């Protein structure tokens, strides 16, 4: 990997870096419509560990690869930078610490982060990790947003309904915002990495081995990726503004997972999914709610129980079983503490209101 691979006899930098030595004013400019960077860090344990990066763009028909060994730790303390394009970070393996301005966020495998042009940021490796960075120019996004005008199918006219497109369109219109999108895989989405790898491979292959129609393939895969990330049963999306604290983002992630699992997600499952200790997650929940993790989860469970009592004809016994209760007395007690009446009384009251 210690080489440049050049096609058509041309060399060029994919990114033009301005003020590279500046701590607060480094700026990356990209002349191509889209650019991919696939990065792999083998770890940080000894001298044998390495860092590989492959960057590829359709601009000027070339791609570039490089490898960093002895200078890796210097690379890992690079200053923050911003750029003229949107950047989507996809964590394909391991975990990465993403520093956004003055805050740090942990991104485990399967999670993604889409930042706008205004946020100073840098990724910091904490161990083995494989990442895909997708640089998306403003003009590229505008082309995708306008593509519905020549679409063949009515379902293709929904670009403005997609949360990812909405985020970028809003930032294109309002150029001073500092915000980003956080993507957390749904707990039930067991194949999130498989899908992300498949889409990443399709993009990289189309970029490295272009043929007639590759432009349409690349745009189609990007749209498929955005639709996948905006599908609720696959991903939870949080819009984070710069003034938000890192604790607030983690609390939002916990809330998404609790809502998805009706509050029945175990402490160990949360630890595994979010890559934080149970004690820390418990402290975050207590900070924002005054409750511990277990009691916070029960608020989602009781909310789901109330919804099932109101909106379905399921028996109370079936609802107990669905929500993981093995003791009816405990379920009744928890429900009455929340709503002031028994489940049966609550159902009759709500049914009376509806009629």
d(CA 84, CA 16): 10
Residue 270, C-beta contacts closer than 8 angstroms, at least 6 positions apart: 254, 257, 278, 281, 293
Kindly state whether residue 149 falls inside one of the protein's structural domains: yes
**Shared domain check, 284 and 223:** no
Q: What is the pLDDT of residues 268-279, one digit of tens each?
A: 999 999 989 999
**Do residues 240 and 263 both lie within one domain?**
no
Residue 4 has pLDDT above 60, yes or no: no
The range of the structural domain enclosing residue 175 comes to: 15-244
Instruction: Please state, for a pLDDT cut of 70, what percent of the chain lies above it.
Output: 86
Nearest to 87 by CA among 196, 164, 154: 164
CATH label of the domain that carries residue 110: 2.60.120.10
| Per-residue confidence (pLDDT) for residue 1, from 0 to 100 | 30
* Mean pLDDT (the chain, rounded): 85
Task: With H, G, I as helix, E, B as strand and everything else as coil, classify residue 138.
Answer: helix
Report yes or no on whether pTM surpasses 0.85: no
200, 216, 244: which is the final residue of a domain?
244
Query: In the structure, what pLDDT confidence band is assigned to residue 288 with cuts at 50, 70 and 90?
Result: very high
The answer to whether 200 and 92 are in contact (CB under 8 A) is yes
Residues 235, 340 within the same domain: no
Q: Is the pLDDT of residue 285 over 50?
A: yes
**Which of 215, 244, 273 is at the close of a domain?**
244
Residue 150 predicted with pLDDT over 50: yes
Confidence at residue 255, expressed as pLDDT on a 0 to 100 scale: 92
Q: Which residue has the higher pLDDT, 149 or 93?
A: 93
For 31-82, the pLDDT digits (tens) are 899 999 999 988 877 777 788 888 888 876 555 455 555 555 555 566 788 8
Residues 71 and 190 in one domain: yes
Domain count, the chain: 2
Residue 250, in any domain of the structure: no
> Do 185 and 331 belong to one domain?
no
């Amino acid at each position: 990997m210690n080489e440049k691979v050049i096609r058509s006899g041309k060399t060029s930098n994919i990114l033009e870096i301005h003020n590279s030595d500046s701590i607060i004013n480094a700026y990356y400019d990209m002349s191509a419509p889209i650019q991919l960077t696939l990065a792999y860090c083998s770890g940080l344990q000894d001298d044998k560990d390495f860092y590989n990066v492959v960057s590829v763009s359709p601009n000027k028909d070339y791609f570039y690869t490089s490898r960093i060994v002895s200078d890796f730790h210097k690379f890992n303390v690079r200053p923050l930078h911003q750029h003229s394009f949107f950047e989507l970070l996809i964590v394909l393996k391991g975990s990465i610490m993403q520093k956004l301005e003055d805050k740090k966020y942990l991104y485990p495998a399967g999670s993604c982060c889409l930042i706008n042009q205004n946020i100073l940021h840098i990724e910091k490796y904490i161990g083995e990790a494989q990442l895909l960075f997708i640089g998306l120019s403003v003009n590229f996004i505008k082309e995708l947003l306008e593509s519905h005008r020549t679409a063949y199918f009515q379902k293709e006219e929904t670009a403005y309904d997609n949360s990812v497109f909405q985020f970028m369109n809003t930032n294109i219109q309002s150029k001073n915002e500092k915000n980003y999108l956080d993507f957390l895989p749904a707990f039930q989405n067991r194949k999130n990495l498989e899908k992300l790898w498949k889409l990443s491979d399709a993009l990289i292959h189309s970029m490295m081995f272009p043929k007639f129609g590759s432009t349409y393939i690349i745009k189609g895969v990007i749209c498929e990726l955005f639709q996948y990330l905006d599908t609720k049963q696959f991903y939870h999306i949080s819009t984070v503004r710069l003034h938000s604290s890192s604790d607030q983002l983690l609390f939002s992630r916990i809330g998404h997972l609790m809502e998805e699992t009706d509050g029945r997600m175990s402490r160990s499952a949360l630890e595994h999914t979010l890559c934080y200790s149970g004690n820390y997650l418990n402290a975050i929940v207590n900070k924002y709610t005054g409750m511990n993790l277990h009691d916070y989860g029960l608020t989602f469970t009781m909310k789901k129980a109330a919804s099932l009592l109101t909106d379905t004809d399921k028996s109370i016994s079936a609802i107990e079983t669905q929500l993981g209760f093995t003791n009816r007395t405990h379920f009744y007690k928890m429900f009455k503490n929340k709503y002031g009446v028994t489940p049966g009384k609550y159902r009759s009251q709500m049914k009376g209101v509806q009629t």
